[in-house]
């Protein structure tokens, strides 16, 4: 496969060299197209040595090749990592003032943009609007990671790790044969509701019962659905990751708040995906003031009551004809059965069109960029097993949903 790796002028350009190596080791032909600023961070000799091909930012370096047209025309995949605020702005405006932006205009293959910049630049309305513009044109824009940036700064804007970028990029062109083609807009015009994150049930004004969900899988599902043309509402319960530009976000805290928000949004939805980790129980009577320790060390009893089964309610009372309902089941094996055993029992009990079962034992899934799931149908039959980044898992889930919509 012919991959074009665009590199913009950010400190994260050094990670692009590792990404290039991953693509090459997987057997792909890679042409690096850096910007002039990128060469201030990693030199031309490095890119050419690692790729085995010429790496120039200039349109006029090889006029007979007509590189500004040919590179994009012959590419099977274009990845820009890192993509700075400047590069994203020029791409959104349709400029072609260097070889990389000209390549983006001529490419007709899937394009993946991987932003990396300081938090303030990423959150600026201009950058957010430019990202929304690119996504509206079918360009895939990966959410930046959150963490340590240049110097002492920390926050969203960090370039994801090369392995995560490679998985997300190759997933765009390596979908199963019966899935939607890369770059498909098969969800165009569809309304999608996704719940994400973990609910928190207050014990008092300070403490709560919660779980380890960060919302990363639900956010990945939202970003993938948006890229495939859907209108997405994300019911967000205490997320620890940023949300995609262009998604309608409804913040909630507790299971009851999530239930109300999902049901309101689901009245016009073609698909409802319950990816949030919803607390099974809540305190019967949360304290109005902070609970104090008993002076005699006596144990405290807190009465818990069950929260409603939101997924089962959505299945039993579909709020729109033909609505597809997808559930998630975070399971651990025990003496009563394996993860798959518990998942199958839940599939039969809940009745969702698809149930995504993942093993969360030993710190897996929650907080990780990776996931490993088994997707079951309404009768508990195994449809697919997939392991990889949460973007890869999202792609397969939407492939299966799209089949049911058509």
Domains and CATH numbers, the chain: 2-171 (3.40.50.1950), 191-286+295-405 (3.40.50.10300)
pLDDT at 181 over 60: no
pLDDT in tens, 87-123: 999 999 999 999 999 999 999 899 999 999 999 999 9
pLDDT (0 to 100) of residue 355: 96
Segment of 10-19, 218-227, 296-305 carrying the highest mean pLDDT: 10-19
Mean pLDDT of all residues in 268-291: 94
User: Whole-angstrom Cα distance, residue 304 to residue 194?
Assistant: 27
pLDDT tier at 7, thresholds 50, 70, 90: very high
pLDDT (0 to 100) of residue 14: 94
pLDDT (0 to 100) of residue 363: 56
pLDDT (0 to 100) of residue 247: 85
Q: What is the pTM of this model?
A: 0.61
Query: Between residues 94 and 169, which one has the greater pLDDT?
Result: 94
pLDDT at 221 over 80: yes
Share of residues in the chain with pLDDT > 70 (%): 94
Question: Looking at 130, 211, 307, 358, which residue is catalytic?
Answer: 211
> How many CB atoms are closer than 10 A to CB 406?
6
Angle between helices 162-171 and 13-25 (to 10 degrees): 50
Angstrom CA distances, 368 to 167, 200, 301, 372, stand at: 14, 20, 34, 11
**Which residues are CB-contacts of 74 (< 8 A; sequence separation ≥ 6)?**
2
Mean pLDDT of all residues in 325-339: 88
User: Whole-angstrom Cα distance, residue 147 to residue 171?
Assistant: 25
Q: Which of 34-48, 71-85, 119-133, 144-158 is predicted least confidently?
A: 144-158
Catalytic residue at 211?
yes
pLDDT at 397 over 90: yes
**Which residues are CB-contacts of 296 (< 8 A; sequence separation ≥ 6)?**
none
Mean pLDDT of all residues in 381-406: 90
Angstrom CA distances, 148 to 59, 98, 242, 306, stand at: 35, 30, 15, 40
pLDDT at 175 over 60: no
pLDDT (0 to 100) of residue 177: 36
Mean pLDDT of all residues in 32-46: 96
pLDDT (0 to 100) of residue 136: 80
pLDDT (0 to 100) of residue 157: 86
Segment of 3-12, 164-173, 293-302, 379-388 carrying the highest mean pLDDT: 3-12
Angle between helices 44-51 and 13-25 (to 10 degrees): 10
Closest CA to 195 of 218, 212, 214: 218
pLDDT at 19 over 90: yes
User: Whole-angstrom Cα distance, residue 268 to residue 249?
Assistant: 16
pLDDT at 179 over 50: no
Query: Between residues 51 and 227, which one has the greater pLDDT?
Result: 51
User: Whole-angstrom Cα distance, residue 245 to residue 234?
Assistant: 11
pLDDT at 361 over 80: no
**Greatest CA separation found in the chain?**
87
Average pLDDT along the chain: 89
Query: Between residues 61 and 100, which one has the greater pLDDT?
Result: 100
């Amino acid at each position: 496969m012919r991959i074009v790796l665009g590199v913009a002028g950010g400190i994260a350009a050094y990670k692009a060299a590792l990404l290039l190596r991953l693509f090459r080791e997987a057997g792909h032909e890679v042409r690096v197209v850096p910007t002039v600023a990128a060469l201030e961070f990693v030199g031309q000799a490095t890119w050419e040595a690692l790729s085995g091909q010429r790496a120039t930012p200039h349109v006029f370096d090889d006029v007979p090749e007509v590189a500004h047209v040919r590179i994009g025309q012959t590419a099977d995949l274009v990845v820009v990592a890192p993509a700075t605020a400047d590069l994203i702005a020029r791409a959104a405006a349709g400029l072609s003032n260097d070889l990389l932006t000209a390549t983006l205009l001529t490419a007709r293959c899937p394009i993946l943009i991987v932003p990396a910049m300081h938090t303030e630049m990423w959150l600026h309305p201009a950058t957010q609007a430019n990202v929304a513009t690119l996504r509206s044109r079918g360009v895939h824009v990966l959410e930046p990671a959150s963490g340590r940036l240049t110097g002492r700064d920390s926050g969203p804007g960090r370039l994801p790790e090369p392995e995560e970028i490679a998985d997300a990029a190759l997933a765009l062109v390596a979908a199963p044969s019966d899935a939607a083609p890369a770059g498909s807009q098969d969800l165009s015009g569809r309304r999608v509701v996704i719940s994400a994150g973990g609910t928190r049930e207050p014990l008092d004004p300070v403490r709560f019962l919660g779980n380890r969900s960060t919302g990363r899988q639900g956010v990945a599902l939202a970003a993938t659905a948006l890229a495939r043309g859907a209108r997405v509402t994300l019911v967000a319960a205490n997320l620890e990751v940023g949300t995609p530009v262009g998604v309608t976000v409804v913040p909630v805290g507790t299971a009851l708040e999530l239930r109300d928000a999902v049901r309101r949004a689901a009245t016009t939805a073609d698909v409802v995906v319950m990816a949030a980790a919803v607390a099974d129980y809540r305190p019967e009577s949360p304290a109005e003031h902070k609970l104090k320790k008993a002076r005699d060390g006596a144990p405290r009893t807190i009465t818990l009551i069950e929260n409603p089964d939101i997924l089962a309610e959505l299945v039993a009372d579909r709020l729109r004809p033909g609505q597809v309902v997808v559930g998630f089941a975070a399971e651990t094996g025990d003496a009563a059965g394996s993860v798959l055993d518990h998942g199958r029992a839940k599939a039969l009990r809940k009745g969702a069109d698809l149930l995504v079962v993942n093993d969360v034992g030993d710190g897996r899934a929650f907080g990780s960029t990776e996931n490993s799931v088994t997707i079951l149908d309404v009768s508990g039959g195994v449809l697919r097993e997939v392991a990889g980044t949460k973007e890869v898992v999202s792609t397969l889930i939407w492939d299966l949903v799209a089949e049911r919509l058509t």
